[in-house]
Amino acid sequence: MNQAVSADLSPTNQMVLLARDLFEFVSGLQHPRISDSEWAREALEKCGELRLRVAQAKEAMASRRHRLAVSLEEVANNLREYSRELSESPRVARLRELNVRLSYNYEELLAHLRRLKVRSLEMTGGLDHIKPRNWDRNVVHVGLGLFGVLMYELVLNRGQALWVLLALVLAFFMIEVTRRIWPDWNRVLVERVFGRISRPRELKGVTSSSWYLLALLLMVFLVPQPAAELGALVLAFGDPAASIVGKRFGRRKLLGSKTAAGTFAFMAVAFVVAVSFLFMSPHGLAVLPRLSLAATVAIAGAITELASDRWDDNFTIPVMCSSIAYFWF
């Protein structure tokens, strides 16, 4: 939206537009092409435009929302650093570091806007969490899912699994509490300890690992073993498939930043994984019910992944899929 139209909007709606443009800007800078002069020129121009709008927004918010103005000040500083690095002797590593900082800035602005309870769907369209392409995270995602299922299948009985998961949930709960008390400890955990697999939103929100462990605890406690294992496997393989395919081939948006390509990739991979699991596990279902269950779980998981905004999909997907499998078993 041009600045003439933007100027006629309320300060809150201008902030929404600014956050949306910052989201698009940061998302497009994940892989800097410093050898491409056209890319560098466009990035520099967009950076300068955003800096001007951030300065105007900060001035408008300074007297009313001090914390938001402080956040905008940090955005302006990082945009200034990005412009300086890009215009002098750009280094890819430094640009990526600044991109991560801007990602954290965006997530903080998004948290402010959600606290303001901005409800205009037309204005908030496109406001979503930044999800960088992260192969390390995808590998860990699949590995943890497989490890958990194998441990439950081969090593731990239900009672032992409950005690182990309860201990892990309590440990992660204490980590979440201490992160809120000591901001420096929070940054060490998110940026250094788990930096290669963390997402920007986890700096201010509950980590996906905490949600995932809570989901596993509920599944083991409430549903039969095959249903719990199926829910964990659908998440482990379907979610990374949606992320990889959506970022690589996604053009048509379905909801927020979620794409049709990513959603169909989730369904396809989840169906294959579910069918493989159901035909390998003895549970008394005939062939047609197995295929029907696999299809139902794959579709439900994809819809849940698509609709999970306020709730972390590392919690909603396995809980939904294992609940559906429970009724079939």
Q: Is the whole model's pTM more than 0.85, yes or no? A: no
Three-state SS annotation for the chain: CCHHHHHCCCHHHHHHHHHHHHHHHHHCCCCCCCCCHHHHHHHHHHHHHHHHHHHHHHHHHCCCCHHHHHHHHHHHHHHHHHHHHHHCCCCHHHHHHHHHHHHHHHHHHHHHHHHCCCCCHHHHCCCCCCCCCCHHHHHHHHHHHHHHHHHHHHHCCHHHHHHHHHHHHHHHHHHHHHHHHCHHHHHHHHHHHCCCCCCHHHHCCCCHHHHHHHHHHHHHHHCCHHHHHHHHHHHHHHHHHHHHHHHHHCCCEEECCEEHHHHHHHHHHHHHHHHHHHHHCCCCCCHHHHHHHHHHHHHHHHHHHHHCCCCCHHHHHHHHHHHHHHHHC
When the pLDDT of each residue in the chain is averaged and rounded to a whole number, the result is 82
Mark whether 96 and 147 lie in a shared domain: no
User: Are 84 and 111 within one domain?
Assistant: yes
- Residues 111, 164 share a domain: no
Domains in the chain, number: 2
Average pLDDT over residues 229-245: 91
The most confident of 110-114, 196-200, 303-307, by mean pLDDT: 303-307
195 plus 320 within the same structural domain: yes
Structural domain that includes position 89: 3-124
- In a domain, residue 272? The reply is yes
Looking at the predicted structure, is the pLDDT value of residue 8 above 80?
A: no
pLDDT score of 283: 67
| pLDDT tens, residue by residue, 163-173 | 999 999 999 99
For residue range 30-58, what is the model confidence (pLDDT) as tens digits? 777 777 778 888 888 888 888 888 888 87
Listed range (195-209, 254-268, 303-317) with the worst mean pLDDT: 195-209
Q: Does one domain contain both 176 and 285?
A: yes
Higher model confidence: residue 66 or residue 328?
Answer: 328
Residues 301, 161 share a domain: yes
pLDDT of residue 64: 64
Domain boundary (62, 90, 124) is at: 124
